[in-house]
Amino acid sequence: MAIQHSPFRLNVRDLVNRPGEMREHRLAVPVGEPMGEGIIAVKEGSELDLAVRLESVHEGILVTTEVDAVAEGECGRCLIDIAQPIEVEFQELFAYHSGEAFEYEVQDDHVDLESLIRDAVVLALPFQPVCRPDCPGLDPETGLRLADHPELVTAEHSDPRWAALAGFQASEDQGTGDASDASQQRD
């Protein structure tokens, strides 16, 4: 049975059972299928830059990987196209096959980093990506980008659901007293 070649699958034959040996790789790997869903993802056809260190230890091969990529999508506030750098680092032990169950094992003198890299990249994607931290978003009435039309920015509109709380203001001494002050105020 022929094993499909994957750029994420690295041969470690020269490191197996040689504690103290180490090898480093720099790889540029094309993304075969998108990493991430939603409004931002590392797109198919883009490239992952990998810095991989393979270290032989008694239990297996210790893999330390740094991944650099560019995620593309839309700003969650104003919907313009954005590209954000993604940088992740992880370390995982690929154990030698033994009687114990390990999540990752050296198989046929290879380590396969694809699922680890995919998981690390997807978890590093921002949940609500923005083009800039202070992006004002879209005008709720016209749908125009407020960053392009500053004349549409008005005074802070308060959410009517919070109107009942608008009259309350925190006093300056609130929260500064101790428990004895609170008991004296009750008396």
pLDDT tens figures, 141-154: 888 888 888 787 76
Predicted local distance difference test score (pLDDT) of residue 157: 57
Strand 47-57 versus strand 81-95 pairing type: unpaired
Query: Which of 31, 49, 28, 51 has its CA nearest to residue 41?
Result: 31
**Is 93 within a domain?**
yes
Predicted local distance difference test score (pLDDT) of residue 101: 73
Residue bearing the bigger pLDDT, 5 or 179: 5
**Is 133 within a domain?**
no
47 & 109 share domain: yes
Domains in the chain: how many in total?
2
28 & 101 share domain: yes
Predicted local distance difference test score (pLDDT) of residue 173: 59
**Is 140 within a domain?**
no
49 & 103 share domain: yes
Residue bearing the bigger pLDDT, 8 or 151: 8
Mean pLDDT of the chain: 85
Strand 60-74 versus strand 81-95 pairing type: antiparallel
119 & 30 share domain: yes
93 & 159 share domain: no
**Is 72 within a domain?**
yes
Q: Model pTM?
A: 0.73
164 & 98 share domain: no
**Is 135 within a domain?**
no
120 & 154 share domain: no
Query: Which of 94, 95, 35, 102 has its CA nearest to residue 68?
Result: 35
24 & 107 share domain: yes
162 & 78 share domain: no
97 & 29 share domain: yes
Q: pLDDT at residue 185 above 80?
A: no
114 & 22 share domain: yes
Separation of alpha carbons 129 and 25, rounded Å: 31
Residue 159 belongs to what domain range? 150-186
Q: Among 83-92, 95-104, 159-168, 173-182, whose mean pLDDT is lowest? A: 173-182
Confidence of residue 35 (pLDDT cuts 50, 70, 90): very high
Q: Which residues contact 78 (CB under 8 A, 6 or more apart)?
A: 131, 135, 136, 137, 138, 145, 146, 147
119 & 169 share domain: no
Helical H runs in the chain? Answer: 114-124, 179-186
**Is 141 within a domain?**
no
**Is 53 within a domain?**
yes
